[in-house]
Amino acid sequence: MSILYENENIRIETEESEIPWLKIFTQKAYKEMSEVPPEIKFEIYELLDSIEKEMLDYYTPSKINIASFGNYVPHVHWHIMARFEKDSFFPEPMWGTKQREGRLELPDFTDFCEQLLKKI
């Protein structure tokens, strides 16, 4: 995992995975989304929308998964994942039961991240 982008409110991290997977964190460690100031919530939702659209355009996945739960890390964050019918876990969540050995041939993730950065 590495930081792709950050400002005073949020940071975007990459997640090491067979699928394209980004995470958005608040810089301040809010425990619940209801604690996040409205302007930061708006920024998060704009980024979720931008990332989803870029993943759809760049990868044409079967589905985009967006999740927010912080049971192990009680710090507001969102996962954005491009999912494919042939990934190792589909249709299960990436934290679910592995279904097969995934054999994905995807466009370069680094190129995707560079393209995304130009749009945010």
- Look at the chain and report how many structural domains it folds into: 1
The pLDDT-based confidence of 72 (bands split at 50, 70, 90) is confident
Name the residue range of residue 107's domain: 2-119
**CATH label of the domain that carries residue 72:** 3.30.428.10
Output the CA angle 9-107-95, nearest 5 degrees. Answer: 60
pLDDT cut 90: percent of the chain above it: 92
pTM beyond 0.85: the answer is yes
pLDDT digits (tens, 9 = 90+) for 82-95: 999 999 999 999 98
How many residues does the structure list for the chain?
A: 120
